[in-house]
Chains A and B, each alone.
Chain A
Amino acid sequence: MNASLQNFRFPAAPRTPVRTGGKIGPASVPGPVLIPAAETAKVRLNEISLSYRTQTGERLLALDRINLEVRPGEFVCIVGPSGCGKSTLLHLIAGLHHQTAGEILIDNKPVEGPGTDRIMIFQDHGLFPWLTVAQNVEFGLKMKGVAKAEREEKTQHYLRLVHLAKFEKSYIHQLSGGMRQRVAIARALATEPDVLLMDEPFAALDAQTRDLLHDELERIWSDTGSTIIFVTHNVREAVRLGDRVVLLTFRPGRVKSEFSVDRPRPRHLEDPEVALTARGILDELREEINRSLEAEYAAGVKPRIDPGDQA
């Protein structure tokens, strides 16, 4: 395991008043030894590795023995430099790809393929342009074979939840970027999943829309009590939203460190405490970003990393 138990220290003497409960420190990194057997984790990753063969024929290790445990109802953010495999990790949890080694457990049951207990929200939303907003939202229910009346009722409910009831008959291209992500959220929620997997969902949005969606997501999260694993490259966003922030290393992706964020909600991106916390994480992230840049420059145009060099 990489230096995942490194100490993280709170930056010295913050001048801004610290709210009660506002504490940050190194969280215990769950390794296979540390996980109590009977603990009820919603999602548990045991020693997940993923390697694949590149077009030039070499084997590339993308994820290296990832261990992660997510409690029911927890909001976990995963940050890391681009190319660390954080999105890939979500695809594995969603069952859209299969890991090379290790085990993913949802409620102690291994993931075998896609399931509507884990719904993914993609960066470019992945909404179906040939369907209306309402048809998109009810899609998962239709696949499940839910009766029409119930489908309609649930669709209405979740559209209201994301404030889009008036747009049920619109097509996707008629909506703004923020509205599209809200439809994607409604579509994901409609199947009533236990776990929401969000893959940089707000990365392509403008700052104001993102703020708004942060608020909405937080509200929906506290209303529905679902477990959220949220991948982002934006550390402030991670601190704004997450109960816990997990930092992955650059290729191969390993858990570098974890930070629990115990600040009272709702937080704001501009809160000095959020900024301070984010800065601490950012310092560590920067090491990884530098490594990724070095790797890219060393390899010329195309980054080419030998996994053996990474230890």
Chain B
Amino acid sequence: MKRAARYIIFYGFLFGVWFLLAKLKIWPPYLFPTPWGVWEELYGGFKDHTYWIAIAVSMRRVLLGYLISVVLGMILGLGISGNKFLEETMGGLLVSLQSLPSICWWPLALLWFGLSQNAILFVVIMGSLLSVTLAMEDGRKQMPKIFGQAGRNLGAKGFKLFWYVLLPASLPFIVSGLKQGWAFAWRSLITAEMLYMSMGLGQVLMMGRDFSNMSAVVAVMILIIALGYLVDGVVFKGMERHLQNKWGLAPSV
């Protein structure tokens, strides 16, 4: 209850300042959007389905790219953590590659895949693959060895060992990495979409700029934040809570 009150006060204040500044008309609306302008934009955008389509297109892409990253990253991460040579060599390379913003892959993606869906997908995958791989590698190392031993002892081997033992055993250790991977995937997607006639949220954002429609720009920014937060807060928080309940871990603050 107290927490809710704090939220209301904080966001109320923020909104109030925005409202006030807009009312004072210090800057023209094409530089400083008004709350009611943004509201109209959001309302209209959803009403004529522009935003619904953009959200559907973007979500589909990011989910596909993220899914591929997770599967590839888990395989890579397990492979690397299981091999001392790879761990020393590949491990270091991956960490250094992580300092490369994923949009740096865009020129390469264009040459490889042309100006297409696949180029965007590639950038999304490159954005999140590294975090997932590193998280999996780390998670495998942190996971108590006894689970693997007990699993093998009870007759699990090969894929069954991975699926029924190693994967669930490492989940609490990789969930933060998966979350980070998601955030990278989402950012990479929006960046890539801004560079290409893509129908996604990124393109709608750029259209706002092209028409000097500041309200539309802010409206789409709000949508991007809201969607990213929604997945983080609902999907990943839910997953964390689920794991905490099962494992009896102290809830992270």
From B147, B153, B156, B247, A119 is in contact (CB under 8 Å) with B153
- Asked whether any CB of chain B lies closer than 8 Å to the CB of A171, the reply is yes
CB contact under 8 A between A114 and B153, given known A130-B246, A143-B160:
yes
B247 touching A122 by the CB < 8 A rule? no
B150 touching A122 by the CB < 8 A rule? yes
B152 touching A114 by the CB < 8 A rule? yes
Cα(A130)–Cα(B247), bound, Å: 6
CB of B39 to closest CB in A, whole Å: 45
Cα(A187)–Cα(B154), bound, Å: 9
B168 touching A130 by the CB < 8 A rule? yes
A140 touching B246 by the CB < 8 A rule? no
A143 touching B164 by the CB < 8 A rule? yes
- Asked whether any CB of chain B lies closer than 8 Å to the CB of A238, the reply is no
* Interface residues in A, total, Cβ within 8 A: 27
A139 touching B154 by the CB < 8 A rule? yes
- Tell me if B's interface is mostly helix, strand, loop or mixed: helix
CB contact under 8 A between A119 and B154, given known A130-B169, A143-B160, A173-B247:
yes
Which residues of chain B in 151-176 are interfacial with respect to chain A, using CB atoms and an 8 Å cutoff?
151-157, 160, 164-165, 168-169, 171
CB of A52 to closest CB in B, whole Å: 16
CB of A298 to closest CB in B, whole Å: 30
Measured between beta carbons, the chain B residues less than 8 angstroms from A142 are 164
From A122, A171, A172, A173, B146 is in contact (CB under 8 Å) with A122
Measured between beta carbons, the chain B residues less than 8 angstroms from A91 are 149
Q: Chain B interface: which size bin?
A: 20 to 34
- Asked whether any CB of chain B lies closer than 8 Å to the CB of A124, the reply is yes
CB contact under 8 A between A94 and B154, given known A124-B146, A171-B246:
no
CB of B139 to closest CB in A, whole Å: 14
CB of A309 to closest CB in B, whole Å: 31
- Asked whether any CB of chain B lies closer than 8 Å to the CB of A116, the reply is yes
- Asked whether any CB of chain A lies closer than 8 Å to the CB of B251, the reply is no
Measured between beta carbons, the chain B residues less than 8 angstroms from A303 are none
- Asked whether any CB of chain A lies closer than 8 Å to the CB of B28, the reply is no
B146 touching A140 by the CB < 8 A rule? no
Cα(A172)–Cα(B147), bound, Å: 13
Residue of B with least CB distance to A128: B147
- Asked whether any CB of chain B lies closer than 8 Å to the CB of A225, the reply is no
Nearest 5 interchain pairs by C-beta: A173-B248, A126-B150, A140-B154, A143-B155, A126-B146
Q: Which A residues lie at the B interface, using CB under 8 A?
A: 91, 94, 96, 114-116, 119-120, 122, 124, 126-131, 139-140, 142-144, 171-174, 187, 191
Q: Which B residues lie at the A interface, using CB under 8 A?
A: 146-147, 149-157, 160, 164-165, 168-169, 171, 243, 245-248
Q: What are 30 inter-chain pairs, A to B, with CB distance below 8 A? A: A91-B149, A114-B152, A114-B153, A116-B155, A119-B154, A120-B149, A120-B150, A120-B153, A122-B146, A122-B149, A122-B150, A126-B146, A126-B150, A128-B147, A129-B247, A130-B168, A130-B169, A139-B154, A139-B156, A140-B155, A143-B154, A143-B155, A143-B156, A143-B164, A144-B155, A171-B245, A171-B248, A173-B248, A174-B248, A191-B155
